[in-house]
Amino acid sequence: MKTARRRKASSIPIKRRKRRAVSKRKNRSAKPDKPQAAKSPYQDGYQTGHQEGYSKGYEDGSKQAEEEKTDHLHGWELAEKAGYEKGLKIGRYEGGDAIIDEQLPETHVLPDTSVAQIIASGIAALGERVVHLLTAEQVAGRLLEALEQRKPLSVVRLGDGELLTLAQESVLPTEQIRQEGGFLEYAGVKVPDIAARDRLLAAVKRADIVGIPKLRQPNYQRLATDVFQSYGIDFRSKVLTDSLVNYRLYQDGHLSRLMKGRRVLVVGNLAQPLAEVLAKSGVAVAGAVAQVQGIHDVDRVMGEIRGQNFDLALVSAGIAAVILADAIAAEMGRAALDFGHMANAIIKGEAPLQA
């Protein structure tokens, strides 16, 4: 949006702007003189020097722009890039070396040790505090075991949408969640919605495997930590995996193995096109439950799901997918995977399945 505004503000070619400026000066000089207060020599000199300097700078800038065959927008882009790089450099210092400078005694330095080396040493020293996440292979193994033994198993995933929903009136103020979670209504939650928060929390606590973000960014792993601590959820007592496990299962070849010989139910707004692609790839599609209108539509959707006969459910329904996957496992005793945007990738052909 910023780029668009800059483009509009500077869309007049330099030569045309120059002519307009000259035209305006001529028009002003043609107007009848108005009585003015006497100016001091300083004021006259200042104004003359200012105008000459401005004109000289304008002429030089115009000439340079013509020589380089560029426009004003290009100049803005260069300035924006320079500002970004400067901000990145400052951010890296503030987030790395500045912290080390604060922690070192006044008379100590570490001249031959990089930030990465220092962090690696610190992580090694904190080994007992590291929380292990299940790999995609381990998650696939548990899903296969559940499918073979016909046991319930839910795999849910927490992204920024789920975490912001859980953070309502417990970790973050409502207004901040509105500002940072403008996409939440699209994902099925209209803030504030404490009922949705509480229902989501109950599903997370009950789920068998919970995917959390690995990236230590504000609304990802760091927010997951704050949310878990706020609700008394122990990282070490919960079975965790990477929140991108849905993609990992496909990339590592486990997804096809999980669906082979199984009756697969697909749930979500893209259920029908996903079912068609899966069927063409040789998957035995048991059914497609489409149109999930947010968390408060879960009960109606579960009513449709209960009438289906399937082994594995792939649920792509935004934030509601966490509640649905948990309910499918807990109420129906089936295996359910929070499938997310993996459905989009398959439909678009970005993640082709082997027939």
Question: Tell me: the pLDDT tens digits for 24-80?
Answer: 444 444 444 444 444 444 445 545 554 555 455 555 555 555 555 555 567 778 888
Q: Which two tokens stand for residue 197?
A: 């928060």
Q: Any idea which fold 251-347 has?
A: Rossmann fold (3.40.50)
Q: Is the dihedral of CA 213, 214, 220, 225 positive or negative?
A: positive
Q: What is the mean pLDDT of residues 275-284?
A: 97
What is the percentage of the chain residues whose pLDDT exceeds 90? 58
What pLDDT digit, counting tens, does each position of 282-337 carry?
Answer: 999 999 999 999 999 999 999 999 999 999 999 999 999 999 999 999 999 999 99
Taking the C-alpha atoms of residue 267 and residue 306, their distance in angstroms, rounded to an integer, is 12
Locate CATH 3.40.50 in the chain.
Answer: 251-347
Taking the C-alpha atoms of residue 61 and residue 59, their distance in angstroms, rounded to an integer, is 5
Q: What is the mean pLDDT of residues 95-111?
A: 88
Q: What are the phi and psi torsion angles at 312 (to 5°)?
A: -130, 135
Q: At which residue do the structure tokens 């599609």 appear?
A: 285
Amino acid at 219: N
Choose among 116, 106, 13, 14: nearest CA to 57: 14
231 vs 26, residue with greater confidence: 231
